[in-house]
Structure 1
Amino acid sequence: MSETPHHPQPLRVGMMGGTFDPVHHGHLRSALEVREALGLDTLHMVPAPQPPLRDTPQVSPAQRLALLQAGIGDAPGLVADDRELHRDGPSYSVDTLAELRQQYGDAVPLVMVIGYDAFLRLAHWDRPEQVFSLAHLVVIARPGYQSPWPSALTELVGDREVSSVSELMARTRGGVLRLELPSLMAISATYIRQRLKEGKSVRYLVPEAVEQAIFHERLYQSDE
C-alpha cells in the first residue's frame, strides 16, 4: 500500500512597516499575535527611513533598526528587515512588497499588515492599487473603533474584503481582512518619547533590551 504523497503547505509571509520610533511592546506583541493568527512563517518588520506621510523620526534609521533588533531578540518568525534603509528618497510600501514578492515567488501568500488609521489613508498612498496585485492587506482593527471609510477607500477596496484567515490564504494576494488582536495595547511611541524627554521611566513600555540601549546611547533624551 503506497503512502499518500505529502504536499508541504506554501510559506506564508508578512510585512509590517513603521517608524518604530522607538519600537515598544505594543508593536512587538501585535507582530507576534498577527503571526500566530495568520500562520505566518516569517513576518518582516520594516523600519522606514522617512515615511512620506509622517514627520521625520527623531533618531537615525540605523539607531531605530538597532532598537528593533534588540526588541525582537530571539522571537521566532520575526525579522528586523533593513531593506528600506538602503533606498534613496521616501519609503513606499509598494516597492517593499514588490521586492518581497520577487524574493519569495508568486506561489507564496504575501500579507501587508497595517493599523486601522493607516488603512483609512490607503487611497492617498503611492500606487495603492498595486498593493493588491502584490499582496493581501490585513488591517488591525481597534475594538469599538468604527470610523467610516472614505469614499475613495471604499472604491479602492471594492469587493476584496474576506471574513476569515482561511478565505484570505486560499489565494496569494488581493484580499482584505480586518483582524482584532486579543491583547491590543494602547502604547504610543509619542508617549514614550515624551516620557524620555522628561526624564521619566519607560519600564514595561519597551523591552528591557530596548530600554538599556536607549539609555546607553542617550536616545530621545532632553539634552539632544
Structure 2
Amino acid sequence: MATERHGALAPLGVLGGTFDPIHTGHLRLAEEAREALGLGGVRLIPAGRPPHRGEPGSTADDRLAMARLAATGNAAFAVDDGEVRAQHKSYTVLTLERLRAELGPQQPLVLILGADAFEGLPTWHRWTELFALAHIAVANRPGYAPHGRRWPATLSPELDLACRDRRTADSAALRATPGGHVIPFDMTPLAISASLIRDLVRNGHSPRYLLPESVLDYIAAHHLYRK
C-alpha cells in the first residue's frame, strides 16, 4: 500500500500495458507521474490477454518477467501479476475493482494514461465506471499546453462531458479523495515504442539504450522477437 503523507494515504499509481517489451518510455512515464503527482508508488501491471490488440509477440509470463527485471532497483515500483494470472481478458475496470477490494475504499488510486489512450477511453470496457474507482492522470504529449490550461481538441463529446467537472491541475486533490479527478502532467517526449524494439530485434539491429540492459539480456537469452 502507498505510504501515508501528512496523515493521508499517498496516492498509488497504476500503469498497465502489454509491455511487449517494457521499455524506457514506460519507465519514464511511471517515474515522471510519480514525481509530478506525489505518488507513493506505482504498480506496473502487464496485460495477460489484452483486449484491444492482436496476440503479443511474447508470452504473458515473458512479459511479466521482463517487467520485474525492469522494475528492479526502483523501490517505488512494484509489478502486479494479477492480469497475467487472471482467466479473463485484461480489462482495466476489472483490475481497478480488484485493487480497490485489496487496498480498501479510502486508498487513492491514480490510473496513468498517455494522451492517445485517454482519448480512446470511450472504447474501453465499462469506461464510465473508471472514474468511481480511480483518478486518471494524463501524460501531455509534445505540443500540448502544460498544467492543463488547454485540453486536446480531439476529445470526443462524450469524453469531454464525462471529464468536465473532474478536471484539476492540483495534485493535492488526488490525496483528498480515493478517485474521480482527471489531471494532466507533463512528460519528457521519448520516441520509443515496443513495436520499434521488436522490429529492430527481428531485423538483426540493436535496441540497446531503448530499454533496460536486463530486459535486453532476457530478450537475447529467450530468443524473443526473432523472425
Structures share a fold, TM > 0.5?
yes
**Distance in 2 between the 1:215 and 1:62 partners?**
16
For residue 216 of structure 2, the aligned residue among 197, 201, 211 is 211
Aligned position for 2:81: 82
Q: Which amino acid aligns with 1:197?
A: R
Deviation at 1:7, TM superposition (A): 5.9
Q: Quick check: 1:187 aligned with 2:192?
A: yes
Are 1:71 and 1:207, in contact at CA under 8 Å, matched by a contact in 2?
A: yes
Aligned position for 2:184: 178
**Distance in 1 between the 2:114 and 2:153 partners?**
13
Q: Which structure: larger Rg?
A: 1
**Distance in 2 between the 1:11 and 1:163 partners?**
17
Aligned position for 2:156: 150
Higher mean displacement: 7-16 or 168-177: 7-16
Stretches of structure 1 lacking an aligned partner (at least 5 in a row): 1-5
Deviation at 1:219, TM superposition (A): 0.5
Aligned position for 2:70: 71
CA RMSD for the aligned pairs?
1.5
Q: TM-score, normalised by structure 2?
A: 0.90
**Distance in 1 between the 2:35 and 2:11 partners?**
11
Aligned position for 1:3: none
Q: Quick check: 1:27 aligned with 2:32?
A: no
For residue 167 of structure 1, the aligned residue among 170, 173, 177 is 173
**Distance in 2 between the 1:9 and 1:207 partners?**
34
Q: TM-score, normalised by structure 1?
A: 0.91
Q: Quick check: 1:221 aligned with 2:220?
A: no
- Following TM superposition, where does structure 1 have runs of at least 4 consecutive aligned residues deviating by more than 6 angstroms? none
Deviation at 1:147, TM superposition (A): 4.6
Deviation at 1:118, TM superposition (A): 0.7
How many residue pairs get aligned? The number is 216
1:28-54 Cα distance to aligned partner (Å, 9 max, x none): 111111111222222111011222112
Stretches of structure 2 lacking an aligned partner (at least 5 in a row): 145-151
